[in-house]
Amino acid sequence: MLLKKLNGEQFKELTLNGALNLKANYAEVDTLNVFPVPDGDTGTNMLRTIQGGVNAVEKSAELNLGEMGKILSKGMLMGARGNSGVILSQIYRGICKGLEGKAEVDAVGLAKAYQIGVKQAYGAVVTPVEGTILTVFREAVEAAAKAVNKDSTINDFYEEHLKAAAKALKNTPNLLPVLKEAGVIDSGGAGYV
């Protein structure tokens, strides 16, 4: 189904499905974990973080996009675990700030919200490191924002976002030597994708 606008109910479904995808793949993400500490818990921490948001929105009857974003963001922040979980919660905090006061958004509005997510995530990290989830998210947002216009669908935004995120993820070992040495891609970026 092609969507010209994204509302709260649809955003909730996207989030729930994204959480299910992470749940199906978190163990693989754990095996990639070598940075900043090779503790093998990135996927687990990201799953616990997004699950905090999912639990909050599943309990809510709210359908307004901006209000749904507030509930999701608070749930993720309260459930955030580890570096990757905290960064993921900050990504969503920024996106949800960009959705505040809106009942729905088009692809351009969604791109603007995601750009706020980039600023929020980078601002929340004392020393941002390229080749991590931050890079994957930023490059995906930049590509999707550049690709959409007033005639674009929400589907167009997410298709471009995912394509660019996968490309950025594949490049993470070229940006972060510890990944190249271990022969892996960034675990946080993998979890995001």
CB 120 within 8 A of CB 90: yes
Specify the DSSP element, H or E, that contains 7. Answer: strand 6-7
Evaluate if residue 33 carries a pLDDT over 90.
no
Query: Tens digits of per-residue pLDDT, 88-101?
Result: 999 999 999 999 99
pLDDT of residue 52: 97
DSSP state of 131: T
Query: Tens digits of per-residue pLDDT, 149-171?
Result: 999 999 999 999 999 999 999 99
CA-CA-CA-CA dihedral for 87, 89, 91, 92, to nearest 10: 170
* Residue linked to tokens 């550049």: 146
pLDDT of residue 181: 93
